[in-house]
Amino acid sequence: MLARFLAVALVGTALATPAIAATDDEGRTVHTVYPGQTIAKIAKRYRVSVDDLLHANRLRRGARIQPGQKLVIPDGTGDRAEPSPRHLGNHWQDYSDPPRKKGFVVLQSPTKHWQGFVLTRRGKVLPHAHEAIEKMFASWRTGVEHEIDPRLIQLVVRVSDTFGGRPIRVVSGYRERSFAVESKHKVGRAFDFSIPGVPNAVLRDYLRTLPNVGIGYYPNSTHVHLDVREEAAYWVDEAGPGEPPKYARRGKVESPSEDTTGPGEQGPAPETEQDEQHHAEIRVE
């Protein structure tokens, strides 16, 4: 009698519980929440982070989910679906989130992936992290590695922490050759990158709050440029990938508040030929 009761109960439960996972019209995995599940349990089930799951479904931390609710499961590439409602502003602060694990950085490229803690408690670069980042920043042409400036690595951590520890897509790090004779890429002091889910214009605005850096903004390309230097610089190049530079704005600036020139307007020209070379340095062939 007991066995029959248990069998009926199990059948009833199976009929009442909808299919857990399915694929939608866009090829994404969609999970149907059943009683007793939490965001954390679902993230663990699909081996994705809680933050990625929240962002993929426009949910805030602490949000309640209900049985029968559909949740899109991130595909693990680091892409996050549409930004949450809080992330619809035009200021970098609208996209800023506290990281789940401060100092924990996720780096991705088309062929490589690395993640881990980068700095000591005193802000020094950990040796194993330095070595791993040099591999991530190796020349995309030849695979040759070069020593990467510790200050640049510290800024990578700062950017990561500012935007919630989201994966950083490395487009280019060390390069043996460049349009610019004095390219920061050739000495391990620059990298080009993007962050999925964060517009490049937002990254540009945040980077311009950092001291003694060079920032390149490419409205018709896929990345922004960041380098470490002795004096701040900022430029806009409207060329697309593989095209000659088309500068809409170039020159040295001391701080974002001192520069009111927008895209499409002519700003002050570089003071020297060397400065102009700096502005060409992030072109990717």
User: CATH number, domain at 49?
Assistant: 3.10.350.10
Q: Do 130 and 59 have their domain in common?
A: no
Helix (H, G, I), strand (E, B) or coil at 83: coil
For the four alpha carbons of 249, 223, 97 and 231, in that order, the dihedral sign comes to negative
pLDDT, position 20? 67
Per the structure, how many domains does the chain have? 2
- Are 68 and 128 found together in one domain? no
Q: Is the pLDDT of residue 258 over 90?
A: no
The mean per-residue pLDDT over the stretch 42-56 comes to 82
Q: Are residues 65 and 104 in the same domain?
A: no
- Same structural domain for residues 160 and 41? no
pLDDT score at 19: 52
CA dihedral angle for residue 147, residue 282, residue 198, residue 241, rounded to 10 degrees: -130
pTM over 0.85: no
Identify whether residues 170 and 106 lie together within a single domain: yes
Domain that holds residue 36: 19-73
3 is a domain residue: no
39 and 163 housed in the same domain: no
**Which burial class, exposed, middle or buried, applies to 238 when counting CB atoms under 10 A from its CB (0-12, 13-18, 19+)?**
middle
Q: Which pLDDT score is estimated for 56? A: 80
| pLDDT for the residue 1 | 54
Is 23 in the same domain as 151? Answer: no
Sign of CA dihedral 204, 205, 210, 212: positive
What pLDDT does residue 141 have? 85
**CA angle (175, 172, 142) in 5-degree steps:** 50
The answer on pLDDT for 256 being more than 60 is no
Q: Are residues 27 and 94 in the same domain?
A: no
Order of strands across the sheet that contains 113-117: 113-117, 104-108, 168-172, 190-194, 224-228, 213-217, 233-237, 247-252
Q: How large is the average pLDDT for residues 92-100?
A: 90
**Is residue 14 assigned to a domain?**
no
